[in-house]
Structure 1
Amino acid sequence: GDRNKQMKLDRQEWNTEKIWKRSLKWSIFIIISLIITHWMFMYIVGYQEVFDMIQEGPFTNFTSFLVMIIFTAAFYFTFAWFREQVCTLVCPYGRLQGVLIDKQTINVYYDFKRGENRAKWRKGEDRKAAGKGDCIDCNQCVVVCPTGIDIRDGQQLECVNCTACIDACDEVMVKVGLPKGLIRYATEDEIEKETKFKFTGRMQAYTAILLLLIGFLGFLLNNRGAMEAKFIKPAGSSFFVRDGKINNTYNYTFLNKSNQDQVVTIKVIEPQHGEITVSASDKILVKRDQMTKGTVNISFPEKEVKLSKQNVKIGVYDQKGELLDTFETYFEGPFKLQF
């Protein structure tokens, strides 16, 4: 229920109703904590790995299971007891914001010039003639605040800009027939000097920079490759000669960033005359949003290898022959004296 119902339940004796409601609430908190923990693990190790761990059981992956229990307990502790103290004691956001704002920063403010002197509401009273402000001291802005601060005391580090106080105050103002906006988004100068909002030069500059950053982000997202490929020589490996050709082995990693499965082929772009031998098949299936690993051999005729270590450029192509990605690495051969 609302705040009053919750306070009443706190004072109530432990009967069937209280046990049922508290058990339901704690169960919901545990379920939410478990969901958050599993999602966090999926983000780190991948959803398939998490599903595999669940099927294998806790004792097969005991360390991972123990970590998940610890994180679930931490989230449950936050939901059940720590709550707003995360914002007031742990989270550095408020302290960082405190050193970044000035009198021209838009924030959640109480219009003290309009609201003071605050006094209880009396129907039919001319508050202006009585020297009273628009604040009727109903305390609703404090009641709804998740961190328990009084916004009428000024801007405070604990404020998380949730604007619950704005909504509560506007609702009260409508009921008593006074203008909304006693608590609103404004600058400190706007409140103190009673001036209207101005789109200042600094705000225009910040807006332009923000739009440029958004545009650049959109450009990067639009131009990112559908496939990311890497070819790395195994540690300690060297070349070998077979049928008059010098061979090098590479471990490949393909990351499919598109929303559809890709069947790819590998070719040596530079230098020419390079041949690719894939361990399984010439064509490699890379499922959408997944990573595929394997091994390939690259070979050159002995007469084409001029240096003991030379650069090679490898391309990855789709079924239509379009180049998806390239990767530059090196190719090892026998040492040759250069005259």
Structure 2
Amino acid sequence: LSFAIANVFLAYFIGSDDLLKYIFEGPANHLDIIVKLLIFSGVFFFVFAWFREQVCIIACPYGRLQGVLLDDNSVVVAYNYKRGEAENGRSKFRKGELRAEKAYGDCIDCKQCVKVCPTGIDIRNGTQLECINCTACIDACDVIMENVGFEKGLISYYSENNIAKGEKFLFNTRIKIYVALFTFMFGALITLLLLRSDIEATILKIPGQMFTTTDTSVTNVYTFTLVNKTVNDYRNLNIKLLSVKGDIKVVGNLVSLEKESLKEGTIFITIDKANLKTDREALKIGIFQGTKLIETTTTNFPSPLNLK
């Protein structure tokens, strides 16, 4: 299981296609990948075999996040201390004992809730950082309550105000703010995913490289990066100026962009001086597949101050 998870984890970073290729080509040809795979497998095995619940207590941020968000109206897995402790606290179960007359609570101190807790806490001590709300204590307690003839629900989903004051769940202002914020963030994420372009293009001028001029034109050298975010190949690609008349020459051959791949290269942009309005012209550049515009990007075009 650790080895399988390590493969999935590694595929997240290097890509599933590359990982499968490395596996079929054999470990001898990719020792660095195999070493990383074994390291990840060892880490996961260590977590599953020994570290276990300590991950929840020490490493996992879930408890810290919940600690910030919780208040007395938050519904969590909780022990009903009003019912469980009553006036004289807990007491072991004795058949035929009149617990109500002695003012004992319904908790018979069997400690089953502690035994089944994966992080080893005692839920009867209140809400704690280590609680992961797995509800194992609820199930264990309900079985015991049913066996001794008491009402189930001594441990269940409660808020502090629900236990202490008997108040029902309230959709208060704080919760409304949280819902609004999460709705906004979720909506923003979906919007970004829907508006995300299939191709990402970046065109940057080579640092330290001066422009070259002739009597009628100015030329600058740029590097370009194209990223294909899809599982489809793009063929017959070309780069064109959109905002100004000019010429773009690609060094090498920009014809295709494979799926889930990146392509880098160099281009020369030449523009007639008559078409330039400033010494740092803002250019809009389009990436085309045949005649179809699939992405746009911008860059600056430095030129002599005296254009004419």
Q: 1:145 Cα shift? A: 0.9
Once the two structures are TM-superposed, the CA of residue 81 in structure 1 deviates from its matched residue by 1.2
Residues 1:295 and 1:174: Cα distance change in structure 2 (over 3 Å) = farther
Q: CA deviation at 1:57?
A: 5.9
After superposition, where does 1:1-339 map in structure 2 within 5 Å? 32-51=1-20, 53-54=22-23, 65-91=34-60, 93-94=62-63, 97-98=66-67, 101-116=70-85, 117-120=89-92, 127-129=99-101, 131-174=103-146, 178-239=150-211, 246-263=218-235, 264-271=237-244, 273-279=245-251, 284-301=255-272, 303-305=274-276, 309-319=280-290, 321=292, 323-333=293-303, 335-337=304-306
Q: Cα RMSD over matched residues?
A: 3.5
Q: Which runs of 5+ in 2 are unaligned?
A: none
Alpha-carbon distance between aligned partners in 2 of 1:236 and 1:94, rounded to the nearest angstrom: 51
Provide closer, same or farther for how the CA distance between residues 307 and 93 of structure 1 changes in structure 2, counting only shifts above 3 A: same
Contact 1:118 1:135 in 2 (8 A): yes
Give the partner amino acid of 1:270: S
- Distance, in Å, in 2 between the alignment partners of 1:171 and 1:296 is 73
Q: Shift in Å at residue 90 of structure 1?
A: 4.2
CA contact (8 A) 2:220 2:302 kept: yes
For 1:243 and 1:171, locate their aligned partners in 2 and report how far apart those are by CA, in whole Å: 92
**Structure 2 counterpart SS, 1:147:** coil
Q: Is there any run of 5+ residues in structure 1 with no aligned partner, and where?
A: 1-31
Q: Post-superposition shift, 1:80?
A: 1.2
Displacement of 1:110: 0.3
237 and 196 in structure 1: CA distance in 2 versus 1, 3 angstrom threshold? same
- What TM-score do the two structures reach when normalised by structure 2? 0.79
Kept after mapping to 2: 8 A contact 1:268/1:275: yes
1:97 CA displacement:
4.3
Letter in structure 1 aligned against 2:125: D
CA contact 1:266–1:315 (8 Å) conserved in 2: yes
Secondary structure, in 3 states, of the residue corresponding to 1:161? coil
Task: Pick closer, same or farther for the CA change 1:61–1:101 going to 2, 3 Å.
Answer: same
Given residue 155 of structure 1, which amino acid in structure 2 is its aligned partner? Answer: T
Give the number of equivalent residue pairs.
304
Provide closer, same or farther for how the CA distance between residues 293 and 167 of structure 1 changes in structure 2, counting only shifts above 3 A.
Answer: farther
Q: Which deviates further from its counterpart, 249-258 or 108-117?
A: 249-258
Q: Percent identity?
A: 42
In the alignment, the residues of structure 2 paired with residue 223 and residue 179 of structure 1 have an alpha-carbon distance, to the nearest angstrom, of 54
Contact 2:73–2:169 at 8 Å: present in 1 too?
Answer: no
Structure 1 residue 136, shift from structure 2 partner: 3.9
Alpha-carbon distance in 1 for matches of 2:82, 2:180? 33
Counterpart AA for 1:317: F
CA distance change for structure 1 residues 251 and 203 in 2, over 3 Å: closer, same or farther?
same
1:69-119, CA deviations, whole angstroms, 9 ceiling, x for partnerless residues? 333322222211121122334445535644653433332210011123444
- Check whether the contact 1:239–1:332 (CA below 8 A) recurs between aligned residues: yes
Partners of 2:251 and 2:202 in 1: CA distance? 16
In 1, the alpha carbon distance for the partners of 2:258 and 2:249 equals 21
Shift in CA distance, 96/336, structure 1 to aligned 2, threshold 3 Å:
closer
Amino acid at match of 2:294: L
What amino acid does structure 2 have at the position aligned with 1:82?
A: F
Larger deviation, residues 202-211 vs 230-239: 230-239
TM-score, scaled relative to structure 1: 0.73
Task: Return closer, same or farther for 1:52/1:176 CA change in 2, 3 Å cut-off.
Answer: same
Distance 2:116 2:234 in 1: 52
Structure 1 pair 215–306 and aligned structure 2 pair: CA distance change class (3 A): closer
CA contact (8 A) 1:306 1:336 kept: no
Q: Counterpart amino acid of 1:315?
A: G
The letter of the residue matching 1:293 is E
Aligned residues of 2:72 and 2:160 also touching (Cα < 8 A): yes
Structure 1 residues 296 and 227: CA distance shift in structure 2, 3 A: same
